[in-house]
Chain A
Amino acid sequence: MAHIAGMFVIRSNQICSRLLNRQLFQCREKFKLPDKPEWIEIDPKALPPETVLDDSTIQLIERLSLVDFNNKEGVERLKSAIKYADQLCVVNTEGLEPMYSVQEHEELFLDEDVVREGNCKQEILRNAVKVEEDYFVTPPGNIPLKQKKLFDKEGS
């Protein structure tokens, strides 16, 4: 009795796996996955010329990103990263809308205008290095320079 049940299980397993294989095969067909990896060699001549990083550019990038990389290793790493990204220039995107996010077709949830957060001053200030009368203390910001009056108000 048991071995008949066993036979039955084995048989149904075989049917299941064959069904699964057929589903997989159909899936692959739908997504057009190749059976074997296909590798496209990029012609170096098709790439744009290597970007030149002069001192002023490096300083500007450091200032904008607040990342200190002005040493041999840092600059080399940046150059190779740019070169790697340059390969995207070879891709033909004519007539294609750019995709900004895989959530393109999700609904953007709109919340009701009700106050539900805030009122947690202690928690907000907990990580601050320096606090003064409940304000965050920071180095001085972009303050106007007080200049001597170079231009006569009434016009020259």
Chain B
Amino acid sequence: MSAPIQRCKLCQTRSKSLLFSQLRYCNKSFSSSCKLNSATKHNQVEAWQPVIGLEIHAQIKANSKLFSRANTIFGGPTNSQVAFLDAALPGTLPVLNRRCVEAGVITALALGCQINKVSRFDRKHYFYADLPAGYQITQQNNAIANNGRFHYVQYGNKESDIREKAVTILQLQLEQDSGKSLHDDLDKQSLIDLNRAGCGLMEIVTAPEFHSGDEARSFVRDLRQLLVTLGTCDGKMSEGSLRVDANISVHKPGQPLGERAEVKNLNSLSSLKKTIEFEIKRQIAVIESGGRVINETRSFDLDTGETLPMRDKEVQLDYRFMPEPNLPPLRLYHRSDLKGAMHGDKVFIDDLEKNMPVLPQERRGNLMQNYGISMYKAAFIVTENLQDIYEELVSTRNVEAFTNFFINTVAARLLANELTLDQCPIPGKHIGYIYDQYKEENINLTVAEKLIDTLLADSSVDPKEHIRLENLWQINDVAQLTELCKTIIAENPKAVSKLKRGKDRAMNTLMASARKATGDRGNTRIINRIFKELIAQSEGRD
């Protein structure tokens, strides 16, 4: 039996110079994106393996809260979206929101989880001003779903460095959100707004299978896209709809896991990566200087990613979990469980599974399989939500050429204008027309880009009409271009002599003049060729 394939644990490459001792690290240096000293080789830093697990709190996209029917709109007037239950006034009882349950089930199905048909709610006790009841209703021990798996994509420096990775989802549970507190340092007080208190959250707990801030960030990016596609969360991290807690520790491979520290409420992708990288380095520094990493909760600086200890760092929190006595178990059904009579009030897993939209990972796979494009290109198209229009147009055209045009021109213009196709829908046939004209050399690339910009500004424009009106057709007539080139050569003796001496950069001057003279409509390939021929001819004569 041959030996199993071995790869460098950090960069995943197979290399002949791989050190096959227990270390399994290659001789490569870190890339510049890694903040560790770039001259350090992987095998010298084998000392430390970071281990990261994430807890993602995604606010469920629903009209009302999890256990009360108060509004959930972001930014509402202070304390105006608070029901009596949310303020923990005595005499109130929780009433579960059906939509939140459905959102939990749909998300769990998309994450490939095992749905628990009977789940229970628990109380998690701690004292804080933004938690009026003194406890949070959550699902600690018998959650709605366990044991899923999510595939995400991690980009590298080059297009070909893209990797698909997977992580185990340990648990998905429904829980209440707490209120929002603003800290007034000047007056030494906190201001509490309970509008958010009681909103439904899905807490998604991953196994500690990440080993870098970049992996964690890639995962959250793809998870966010999944949730937005499913419609169960609006993914607006800036509004706090998606918050991440990271549990970070370091250890030497082969040795037991180190003590972990937790960083809470990371709410942007960039600060997620920066903060995790900082915390890894901080822990390494603490251990190497003889200290001990404390199991504590730390907060972070938004700009620098530095982590800071919070005030009560010495005390271990004991949440005193107990079953929520006011709520019987939550039961989910398959249609086959209840035959005969109509049961409109129950949640059926089959119905939700039937109505699931196509998931991003599947769309990516479909594009790769149906058209043979690379994972990078497929991932890009799906991330920018362009797959429908792409599939509509690519089926009748040359795949490689059209894909490159689609990504480098169409999508690039969208991104440059900071727009999405949902915001300004250009009819597919117009994009197809522009591409076809470009392919047949009737318009050049610059004109194509300008046309896209025009259509983005006003999608009712007909590109054919526009080209005719603005006279944007490409000039392909060799005779006409030759005349033009002769004129330009006569007007630029210095550039011509530079070219003759072998300074190829002087061609740029000639090309620029040609572009100006033709109003950017000349066929640059032909012009370039004509210039070279004319100069060669004049050299022959001289």
Is A142 part of the binding interface, using a Cβ–Cβ cutoff of 8 Å? yes
Instruction: Assess the A156–B288 pair: CB atoms within 8 A.
Output: yes
Chain B proximity of A115: nearest CB distance (Å): 5
A111 touches B182 (CB 8 A): no
Cross-chain pairs A/B with CB under 8 angstroms, 28 sampled: A107-B331, A108-B329, A108-B330, A110-B97, A111-B95, A113-B97, A113-B100, A114-B69, A117-B64, A117-B84, A118-B71, A118-B80, A118-B83, A119-B81, A133-B191, A135-B79, A138-B189, A138-B190, A138-B191, A140-B183, A144-B298, A144-B308, A147-B309, A151-B281, A153-B281, A154-B37, A155-B36, A155-B37
Interface residue ranges, B against A (CB under 8 Å): 35-37, 62-64, 68-71, 77-87, 95-101, 120, 125, 127-130, 181-185, 188-194, 278, 281-282, 284-286, 288-289, 298-299, 306, 308-312, 315, 318, 320, 323, 325, 327-331, 345-347
List chain A residues, Cβ under 8 A from B310: 142-145
A113-B97, A113-B99 given as contacts; is B320 within 8 A of A132 (CB)? no
> Do A137 and B189 have beta carbons less than 8 Å apart?
yes
- The residues of B that contact A139 with a CB separation of less than 8 Å are 129, 188-190
Let me know if B78 and A133 touch, CB within 8 A. Answer: yes
**Cβ–Cβ < 8 Å partners of A8 in chain B:** none
Tell me whether A135 and B182 are in contact (CB under 8 A): yes
User: Bound complex: CA of A60 vs CA of B320, how far in Å?
Assistant: 13
Q: Are A110 and B82 neighbours in the complex by a CB distance under 8 Å? A: no
Assuming the contacts A110-B101, A118-B71, A119-B81, asked whether A140 and B315 have C-beta atoms less than 8 A apart, the reply is: no
* Stretch from A20-28, A42-50, A98-106 at the B interface: A98-106
* B345 touching A110, Cβ below 8 Å: yes
Query: Contact mask A50-74 → B, CB, 8 Å, 1/0?
Result: 0000000000100110100000000
Given the known interface contacts A104-B328, A115-B70, the answer about A124 and B285 at a Cβ–Cβ threshold of 8 Å is no
Is there a chain B Cβ closer than 8 Å to A11's Cβ?
no
Closest partner residue, chain B, to A99 (CB atom)? B323
Q: Give the complex CA separation of A141 and B62 in angstroms.
A: 29
Q: Does A134 contact B (CB under 8 A)?
A: yes
Complex CA–CA separation, A86 to B284 (angstroms): 45
A35 to chain B, nearest CB (A): 34
**B190:A141 contact, CB within 8 angstroms:** yes
Contact with B along A106-130 (1 / 0, CB 8 A): 1111111111111111011100000
> Closest CB of chain A to B304's CB: distance in Å?
8
List of B residues within 8 angstroms of A154 by Cβ: 35, 37
Q: Are B63 and A124 in contact (CB under 8 A)?
A: no
Q: Contacting B96 at CB < 8 Å: which of A111, A117, A136?
A: A111
List, in ascending order, chain B residues with CB within 8 A of A120's CB: 82, 84
- Asked if residues A111 and B311 are in contact (CB atoms below 8 Å), the reply is no
Complex interface: chain A residues within 8 A of B82 (CB): 118, 120-121, 124
Interface size classification for chain A = 35 or more
Q: Closest residue to B282 on the A side, CB-wise?
A: A151
A146 at the interface (CB under 8 A from B): yes
Cβ-defined partner of B80 (8 Å) among A121, A132, A144: A121
Chain A, residue nearest B78 (CB) = A134
Given contacts A63-B315, A115-B71, contact A108 B96 (CB under 8 A): yes
Query: For residue B83, which residues in chain A have a CB less than 8 angstroms away from its CB?
Result: 117-118
C-alpha gap A81/B215 in the complex (Å) = 50
* A103–B197 CA distance with the chains assembled, in angstroms: 27
With A110-B98, A134-B78, A145-B308 in contact, is A100–B347 under 8 Å at CB? Answer: no
Q: Select from chain A the residue with minimum beta-carbon distance to B308.
A: A144
**Cross-chain contact A116 with B312 (CB below 8 angstroms):** no
B-chain residues with CB within 8 Å of residue A141 when the two chains form the complex: 128-130, 181, 183, 190
The distance from the CB of A63 to the nearest CB of chain B, in whole angstroms, is: 7
Q: Are A142 and B312 interface neighbours, CB within 8 A?
A: yes
Chain A hits for B86, CB < 8 A? 118
Most B Cβ at <10 Å: residue of A113, A133, A141: A113
What distance in Å separates the Cβ of B282 from its nearest Cβ neighbour in chain A?
A: 6
Residue of B nearest to A125 (CB): B79
From A124, A132, A138, A151, B129 is in contact (CB under 8 Å) with A138
User: Contact at A135–B70, with CB atoms within 8 Å?
Assistant: no
Which chain A residues lie closer than 8 Å to B315 at the CB level?
Answer: 60, 63
Point out the residues of chain B lying under 8 angstroms from A121, CB to CB: 77-80, 82
Q: Which of B64, B128, B328 contacts A115 (CB 8 A)?
A: B64
List, in ascending order, chain B residues with CB within 8 A of A155's CB: 35-37, 281, 284-285
Q: How far is the CA of A12 from the CA of B80 in the complex (A)?
A: 65
CA distance A145 to B301 in the complex (A): 11
Residues of A within 8 A of B311 (CB): 142-145
Nearest residue (CB) in B for A146 is B308
Looking across the interface, which residue of chain A has its beta carbon closest to that of B286?
A151
A113–B62 touching, CB < 8 Å: yes
Query: Are A106 and B328 within 8 A (Cβ)?
Result: yes
Q: In the complex, which of the residues A103, A113, A136, A144 contacts B64, with contact meaning CB atoms closer than 8 Å?
A: A113
Q: With a CB–CB cut-off of 8 A, which chain A residues contact B320?
A: 64
Determine the distance from Cα of A106 to Cα of B188 in the docked complex, in whole angstroms.
48
In the complex, what distance in Å separates the CA atom of A119 from the CA atom of B315?
A: 38
Shortest Cβ-Cβ A-B pairs, 9 listed: A118-B70, A113-B99, A135-B191, A117-B83, A110-B98, A138-B129, A116-B69, A144-B299, A134-B78
In angstroms, how far is the closest chain A Cβ from the Cβ of B126? 8
- Check B64 against A114 for contact (C-beta < 8 Å): yes
